[in-house]
Amino acid sequence: MRQTLTRRQLLGSVAVATTGTVAGCVGGGEPEDVEDLDMGGENDDEVDPEYDIEDQPDDTAATFVTPEDGDTVSSPVSIEGDVEGIELAPAGSKAIGEGHLHVLVDRECFEEGRIIYGPSSSAQADGVYHWGDGQSEDEIELEPGEYDLCLQISDGTHRAFGDTDEITITVEE
């Protein structure tokens, strides 16, 4: 059965959605309720109902290979990461022992269990770079200046887990 919204209901829905979006942007941080975000079409319907983020291996860690802490680099910045305790895999369904990487630029690392929002151009503008193809390296365009980087693992639907790595780099002109 198809439901038809009145003009007032439609405008009210748009107003609520817009207010939430603006509130998330104005605050400069993540949207208030990141648990309900659409992560760009990832297939959460195929999730094993027995899956729990706490079942991920305890020895999981992300590490920057390049650049190293304190390096001076040019843009685009070539970044390579490595993981321990899991296999890198494309974003999608949740699986024990699999995950993908995010590079956070001038942002705090996300707490374990929190959703790392993205992928989108607005997330990149907010310093969240999603490596959802399961890759371990990429290039990021950065203006000259000093940057704090965090490399972080998430499961197929972007829930953070494992140890992070944090470095500071300088991008030269």
What residues pair up with 79 in beta bridges, in sequence order?
Answer: 138
Residue 17 domain flag: no
Residue pair 73/171 in contact (Cβ under 8 Å)? The answer is yes
Residue 90 domain boundaries? 33-171
Question: How many folded domains does the chain comprise?
Answer: 1
Pairing mode, if any, of strands 77-84 and 137-140?
A: antiparallel
Residue 110 domain flag: yes
Residue 24 domain flag: no
Query: What's the pTM?
Result: 0.72
99: three-class secondary structure by DSSP: strand
Residue 149 domain flag: yes
Strand blocks (E) in 97-156: 98-105, 128-131, 137-140, 145-154
Cα(93)–Cα(44) distance, integer angstroms: 6
Radius of gyration of the chain (CA): 18
Residue 46 domain flag: yes
pLDDT at 48: 59
Residue 50 domain flag: yes
Residue pair 102/111 in contact (Cβ under 8 Å)? The answer is no
pLDDT at 51: 84
Pairing mode, if any, of strands 98-105 and 87-88?
A: parallel
Residue 147 domain flag: yes
User: CB-based contacts of 92: which residues, under 8 Å, 6+ apart?
Assistant: 42, 43, 46, 156, 157
CATH of the domain at 38: 2.60.40.10
- Token pair, residue 46, equals 């195929």
Residue 7 domain flag: no
> pLDDT 10s digit of each residue in the chain, 173 long?
333 333 333 333 333 333 333 333 333 444 433 333 333 434 344 445 678 899 999 999 999 999 999 999 999 999 999 999 999 999 987 899 999 999 999 999 999 999 998 777 777 889 999 999 999 999 999 999 999 999 999 999 899 999 999 999 999 98
